[in-house]
């Protein structure tokens, strides 16, 4: 979560540059994250992949599906993916940030031929969200460093993206 002592972001894109705090209610672990810098620009987080974009820890909600790893950040993310995958008619919206993830979903996840398996995988993630013991962690959830980390597209320079 963004640090609670900071002001609300003015723009959606600022969320990738806000300092974050990680607090585990189970073990009490605490960690802080702040954007790096390169020259005069800030280097923010890169969302996507099976790791948390800020702390690079494996996501809790992961399962194997259609020979791939299906993952989600939280129950709201699972619900949004399930609604999209289950839809018979998928209309493309404008360039609204909340709908941008659907345009970037991998083909295997949106394929009509994989719909039953993907919906079953999303149901498994929904059930997994209710469990919190480390022993309940999916075998798909482990550190893989499987996402590219090209930070060039996430430089913030003096108020413009």
Prediction pTM value: 0.70
How confident is the model over 82-122, as pLDDT tens digits?
999 999 887 766 555 555 788 888 999 999 999 999 999 99
Average pLDDT over residues 74-84: 93
The edge-to-edge listing of strands for the beta sheet with 155-156 is 36-38, 41-43, 155-156
Q: What is the mean pLDDT of the chain?
A: 78
DSSP-assigned letters across all residues of 50-116: SB-TTT-PBPSEEEEETTEEEEESSHHHHHHHHHHHH-SS-----S-GGGHHHHTS-HHHH-GGGHH
d(CA 142, CA 145): 9
Residue 65 pLDDT grade (very low, low, confident, very high; cuts 50, 70, 90): very high
């Amino acid at each position: 979560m963004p640090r609670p002592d900071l002001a609300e972001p003015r723009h959606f894109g600022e969320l990738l540059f806000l300092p974050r705090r990680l607090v585990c209610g189970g073990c009490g672990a605490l960690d802080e994250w702040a954007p790096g810098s390169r020259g005069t620009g800030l280097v923010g987080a890169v969302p996507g992949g099976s790791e948390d974009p800020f702390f690079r820890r494996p996501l809790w909600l992961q399962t194997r599906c259609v020979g791939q790893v299906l993952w989600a950040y939280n129950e709201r993310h699972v619900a949004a993916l399930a609604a999209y995958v289950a839809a018979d008619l998928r209309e493309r919206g404008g360039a609204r940030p909340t709908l941008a993830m659907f345009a970037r979903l991998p083909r295997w996840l949106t394929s009509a031929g994989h719909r039953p398996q993907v919906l079953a995988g999303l149901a498994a993630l929904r059930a997994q969200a209710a469990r919190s013991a480390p022993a309940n962690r999916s075998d798909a959830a482990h550190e893989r460093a499987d996402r590219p980390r090209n930070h060039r597209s996430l430089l913030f320079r003096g108020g413009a993206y």
